[in-house]
Structure 1
């Protein structure tokens, strides 16, 4: 495992964690989480790297080891898609696969649907139709968590989110700015996602709506259920195994631009 930093499109420094050698797979973590929390801690990165992949795990801005700028100008619309595109350009990737969980899945689909990202294959974890087409409703929950952070009591449905933000050391000023950069996705745009897609979701995960419905809207999708809730499924080895089995052994080295 190595960690390095690169400069994104606007000069913000972002962290990149690498493991393995071979075909590039870019992995994107969930909201207010990190590469460490979603991929590294539970061994999902190693399960995939063992099949001949170089697993490239970005920490989004405001997350993990990346910068958390507080200036409003650091948060243009769809800034996370632009950060991922900057990473692909920085690494010179011409032939790569892409995967994400929750916010990472949402960012991936936005990027592919808009043409900003062009992976050969895509993995969408912990995401359903509501998390795309009705994101503003989901975002309102997290805005409340931030705005009422010190007054949300145990027993409130938002209490767990408060504790998670505390555990991850999230800068709440920067996080509040980031939430306003994420538009809803017109589900008709999913027709643009033409590459093979794995939609994988916990069997008790309804946080972002129906993952099965999402798979049905994609032109070439495979739907797989794994055990767990939204937060629980990412902690179980089943998620990494499902991703690794769908990807299979890497067949070719990447073409560099």
Structure 2
């Protein structure tokens, strides 16, 4: 997979297809393959006539790992995404992020609105504003020697996912403990680009998609029926809804 480097930070990415670009930003403990290739998103979007760029966030996948929480945070990772656009000489793109990737996408849209045509915030609703709970049980679960010793249900789920994806658990723990810059309701209301908020109806992590969408002037909601946070990514309703949004909503 191609990579680029800036200020000593190495970022891996995928770049496939031709046409209007869309940047995909994966969730916590995932990577470009697990979040986007394996569930069929890359193939779907390429076949829809798009150039698909998927980033490995720092600390994830094939990108550089850091073990200091200060090296992470959504605003920092949004700048990684912006630098990738610069590297590829892409002036303006659609952006889709899942969970943590949706938060990163929001900072990219807020801080560089001229670079984003439309945004899709998947796997994250009002939790973008309110937060999604205490990060410490997840960080501790990632650092525990044996998954059998993890009592916290959410921590155990993320620990199992990190093992499944072959992730660097120490880097993920640092990422989880990073400073979480707040996105206020006022910040979200400044996102004037067309937005789709897509969340599984059984997702108990994301927060209300309707409450988040109501803050923005041009936002719609896509409910992904019967799916929780871990399995909503590749759902066919999710895919169909995103394609409809991209093909029917003017940027």
TM-score (norm 1): 0.86
Count of residue pairs the alignment pairs up: 248
Higher relative contact order (CA 8 A, sep 6+): 1
- Unaligned ranges ≥5, structure 2: none
- Give how far 1:38 is off: 1.2
- Give how far 1:76 is off: 7.0
- Give how far 1:105 is off: 0.4
Match of 1:6 in 2: 4
- Give how far 1:72 is off: 6.2
The 1-side partners of 2:191 and 2:202 are apart by 26
Q: Secondary structure at the match of 2:116?
A: coil
The 1-side partners of 2:61 and 2:128 are apart by 22
Deviations 1:47-104 (A, max 9, x none): 1222211010001011112121335664477321111111111112112111111011
Match of 1:102 in 2: 99
Matches within 5 A, 1:150-189: 150=146, 152-153=148-149, 156-157=152-153, 158-179=155-176, 180-189=178-187
Match of 1:17 in 2: 14
The 1-side partners of 2:148 and 2:185 are apart by 34
Contact 1:112 1:192 (C-alpha < 8 Å) held by counterparts = no
Match of 1:255 in 2: none
Is the aligned partner of 1:198 residue 2:182? no
Deviations 1:136-190 (A, max 9, x none): x342332232344536537641322221111222223222222314322222101
Q: Secondary structure at the match of 1:208?
A: coil
- Unaligned ranges ≥5, structure 1: 253-257
Deviations 1:215-235 (A, max 9, x none): 111110011112311111113
The 2-side partners of 1:216 and 1:149 are apart by 43
Matches within 5 A, 1:17-166: 17-70=14-67, 74-75=71-72, 78-115=75-112, 118-135=115-132, 137-148=133-144, 150=146, 152-153=148-149, 156-157=152-153, 158-166=155-163
- Give how far 1:206 is off: 2.6
- Give how far 1:132 is off: 3.3
Match of 1:230 in 2: 229
